[in-house]
């Protein structure tokens, strides 16, 4: 997909970023995935150069970019909700919940921006300016806003649950865990206010929790397919576990 | 999650530990918590009897048995709650408890099958005392009255669910390398988080945890469940400094991230409710 690059240039980039990582974040990076990428001159790991579609990458880099894409999407959605003064019929309780979700998702987005900026080689960093298409959402309509929120939160849960296995560094896995449980708290609250007294079990309904009591877990392919309608900026996530 | 695929994980190298080591651990587990159920002992202080389950972090079966112990506790709690009649006049609470009870029972079965599938022995179900030596009366067995019992029933559920979320999260890194087990544990973890959110909201709180606040109406003894939730340093980054405005306040920045409990901390909390 992309032109071959000089190994020397790429290796230097990785080296500099690894030092930044250790210095800035203090996390214990397992450098092997980055070095592996650096040593392969025909990979397409998270690299937009050469005109191909940006690929989120593999291992920790891929998961960081993937999470960043999803958090950008959620943050952009709730920003629209909050900036649009919510929907006309929003109760005080609903506004408080949606404002909290906006706060949390914007914080998550900025966290991943900082983490990626410190830890991922420049050319493998997902852009901070993904564009989204929310034309399918009627921001003045309760059902439309809450249904979209439910889809985004449930998708977030399924995405983190499905991608945990691709994380190679314990600190990142724990961080993903810190975030996914908050997404699940969101999902439960949204599902609860959507269904109200019509279904008191919706917060963890039989439509999402299986007969072993397990929540959703989806592959990146399934997630990107489910949320793909919102993404204008194209990207791929071809080899999360490579 | 395909159970067969899940069980296949146990053919991996992590399962090759000497049986003697695991047997020794299970032998110790039988005596956990005998002295822990002292009334008025805060959740965080009953540490003396908790060493046994703290020995084998990194061992997949050890993680699953810790999880199973917590699920036994939750499963029995919700079953007793539904049997007690304390919820019978509140259709919403009863429906929520029924749904959670179903999941906890499923978790017990799933984890038991997983451990047995690994050729290991599931830890025995302890005897629980949800009154903590008479300090609580969540099932209205000792004359507390329906209203008091109901409040305690909800408070204990909140404590158990928020503990479950933190305990699973704390063990995730010990399951790296066993993809199927890790994914299943994450899938249980987020179910516990959904439960926690709903119970908290049923109690009139937000679904998420602000700072290290246990929330209105929670007994002081539950504070250990919330200690450390006020952390704002994520991966070495102070997440209150990443921007300006409401997303970067202390409240939002602590709500946005749940924190872990270590195995010791989780066992200490659970042990308060374990008689033998």
Residues of B in contact with A189 (CB under 8 A): 197-198, 201, 207
Q: Is A54 helix (H, G, I), strand (E, B) or coil?
A: strand
pLDDT in tens, B22-39: 333 222 222 222 222 222
Region of poorest pLDDT, from A59-63, B39-43, B211-215, B224-228: B39-43
User: What pLDDT, on a 0 to 100 scale, did the predictor assign at position B21?
Assistant: 33
Interface test with A, best of B99, B235, B242, B243 (most A CBs within 10 A): B235
As a whole-number percent, the residues of chain B with pLDDT over 90 amount to 78
Record: contact B207-A215, CB cut-off 8 A: no
Q: What is the CA radius of gyration of chain B?
A: 19
Range name among A32-36, A234-238, B92-96, B143-147 with the lowest pLDDT average: A32-36
**Least confidently predicted of A37-41, A45-49, A118-122, A200-204:** A37-41
Q: How far is B133 from chain A (nearest CA, A)?
A: 31
Q: Where is pLDDT greater, at A46 or A191?
A: A191
pLDDT for B51:
34
CB B116 within 8 A of CB B64: no
Q: How confident is the model at residue A242 (pLDDT cuts 50, 70, 90)?
A: confident
pLDDT of residue A85: 87
Report the residue from B195, B237, B247 with minimal CB separation from A115: B237
d(CA B264, CA B212): 19
Selecting from A96, A182, A204 the residue whose C-beta is nearest the C-beta of B256 gives A182
User: What would the pLDDT profile of B112-122 be if each residue is shown by its tens digit?
Assistant: 999 999 899 99
Question: How many C-beta atoms surround the C-beta of residue B112 within 10 A?
Answer: 18
Which H helix or E strand runs over B207? none
Give A-chain residues touching B197 at CB under 8 angstroms: 184-186, 188-189, 192, 203
Confidence of residue A37 (pLDDT cuts 50, 70, 90): very low
Find the mean pLDDT for residues B167-179.
Answer: 96
- To which residue do tokens 């506790």 refer? B73
Q: Is the pLDDT of residue B151 over 90?
A: yes
The predicted-structure confidence for B240-260, as pLDDT tens digits, reads as follows 999 999 999 999 999 999 999
**Are A174 and B235 in contact, with CB atoms under 8 Å apart?**
no
Average pLDDT over residues A65-77: 98
Q: How many other CB atoms are found less than 10 A from the CB of residue A92?
A: 7
pLDDT of B14 above 50:
no
**Buried b / exposed e across A112-136, counting CB within 10 Å, b at 16+?**
bbbbbbbbbbebbbbeeebebebee
How much of chain B, in percent, has pLDDT values that exceed 70? 79
The domain spans of chain A are 61-234
| B181 has pLDDT over 50 | yes
Residue B86 has pLDDT above 60, yes or no: yes
Q: What is the mean pLDDT of chain B?
A: 84
Interface ipTM above 0.90: no
| pLDDT score of A51 | 61
Give A144: exposed, middle or buried? Use CB within 10 Å, 0-12, 13-18, 19+.
middle
d(CA B41, CA B32): 16
pLDDT band at A12 (very low <50, low <70, confident <90, very high): very low
Contact between chains at B239 and A188 (C-beta distance less than 8 A): no
Mean pLDDT confidence for B82-106:
97
CB–CB contacts below 8 A, A to B: 213
Give pLDDT, residue B36: 26
Beta bridge partners of B189: none
Please give the Cα distance from B53 to B171 (Å, whole number).
13
Where are the extended beta strands (E) located within chain B? 233-234, 237-238
Nearest-CA residue of chain A relative to B167?
Answer: A177
Q: How far is A137 from chain B (nearest CA, A)?
A: 23
Is pLDDT at B238 greater than 90 in this prediction?
yes
pLDDT at A111: 98
CB spacing of B103 vs A189 below 8 angstroms: no
CATH, range B3-11+29-271: 1.20.1260.10
Q: Which residue has the higher pLDDT, A148 or B44?
A: A148
Q: Which CATH class is domain A61-234?
A: mainly alpha
Q: What average pLDDT does the segment A28-56 reach?
A: 46
Query: Which of B3, B98, B169 lies at the smallest CB-CB distance from A181?
Result: B169
- Inspect the interface and report whether the beta carbons of A178 and B257 lie closer than 8 Å: yes
pLDDT at position B101 is 98
Task: Indicate if the pLDDT at residue A38 is higher than 70.
Answer: no
Question: Which residues in chain B touch residue A197, judged by CB atoms under 8 angstroms apart?
Answer: 92
Backbone φ and ψ of B274, nearest 5° = -105, 120
Q: Which is more confident, A34 or A185?
A: A185
Q: What's the pLDDT at B193?
A: 99
């Amino acid at each position: 997909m992309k032109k071959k690059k000089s190994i020397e240039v790429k290796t230097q980039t990785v080296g500099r970023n690894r030092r930044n990582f250790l210095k800035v974040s203090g996390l214990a990076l397992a450098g092997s995935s980055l070095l592996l990428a650096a040593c392969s001159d025909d990979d397409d790991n998270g690299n937009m150069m050469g005109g191909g579609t940006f690929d989120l990458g593999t291992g920790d880099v891929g998961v960081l970019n993937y999470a960043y894409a999803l958090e950008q999407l959620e943050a952009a959605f709730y920003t629209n909700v909050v900036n649009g003064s919510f929907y006309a019929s929003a109760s005080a309780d609903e506004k408080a919940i949606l404002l909290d979700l906006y706060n949390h998702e914007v914080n998550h987005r900025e966290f991943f921006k900082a983490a990626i900026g410190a830890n991922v080689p420049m050319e493998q960093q997902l852009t901070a300016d993904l564009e989204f298409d929310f034309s399918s959402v009627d921001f003045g309509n309760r059902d439309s806003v809450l249904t979209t929120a439910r889809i985004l939160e449930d998708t977030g849960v399924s995405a983190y649950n499905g991608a945990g296995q691709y994380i190679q560094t314990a600190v990142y896995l724990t961080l993903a865990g810190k975030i996914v449980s908050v997404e699940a708290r969101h999902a439960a609250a949204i599902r609860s206010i959507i269904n109200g007294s019509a279904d008191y079990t919706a917060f963890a309904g039989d439509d999402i929790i299986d007969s072993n009591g397990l929540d959703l877990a989806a592959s990146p392919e399934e997630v990107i397919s489910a949320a793909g309608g919102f993404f204008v900026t194209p990207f791929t996530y071809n080899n999360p576990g490579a | 999650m395909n159970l067969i695929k899940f069980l296949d994980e146990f053919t991996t190298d992590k399962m090759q530990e000497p049986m003697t080591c695991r047997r020794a651990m299970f032998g110790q587990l039988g005596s956990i918590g005998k002295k822990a159920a002292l009334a008025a002992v805060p959740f965080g202080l009953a540490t003396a009897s908790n060493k046994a389950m703290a020995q084998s972090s990194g061992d997949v079966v050890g993680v699953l048995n810790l999880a199973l112990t917590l699920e036994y506790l939750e499963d029995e709690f919700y079953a007793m709650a539904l049997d007690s009649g304390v919820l019978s006049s509140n259709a919403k609470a009863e429906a929520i408890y029924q749904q959670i009870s179903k999941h906890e029972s499923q978790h017990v079965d799933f984890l038991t099958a997983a451990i047995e599938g690994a050729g290991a022995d599931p830890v025995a179900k302890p005897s629980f005392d949800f009154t903590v030596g008479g300090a609580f009366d969540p099932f209205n067995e000792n004359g507390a009255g329906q209203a008091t019992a109901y409040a305690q029933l909800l408070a204990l559920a909140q404590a158990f669910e928020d503990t479950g979320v933190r305990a699973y999260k704390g063990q995730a890194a010990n399951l790296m390398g066993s993809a199927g087990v890790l994914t299943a544990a994450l899938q249980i973890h987020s179910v516990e988080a959904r439960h926690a959110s709903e119970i908290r909201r049923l109690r009139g709180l937000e679904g998420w945890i602000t700072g290290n606040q246990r929330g209105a109406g929670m007994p002081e003894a539950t504070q250990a469940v919330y200690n450390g939730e006020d952390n704002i340093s994520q991966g070495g980054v102070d997440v209150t400094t990443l921007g300006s405005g409401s997303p970067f306040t202390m409240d939002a920045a602590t709500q946005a991230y749940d924190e872990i409990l270590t195995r010791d901390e989780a066992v200490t909390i659970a042990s308060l409710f374990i008689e033998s």
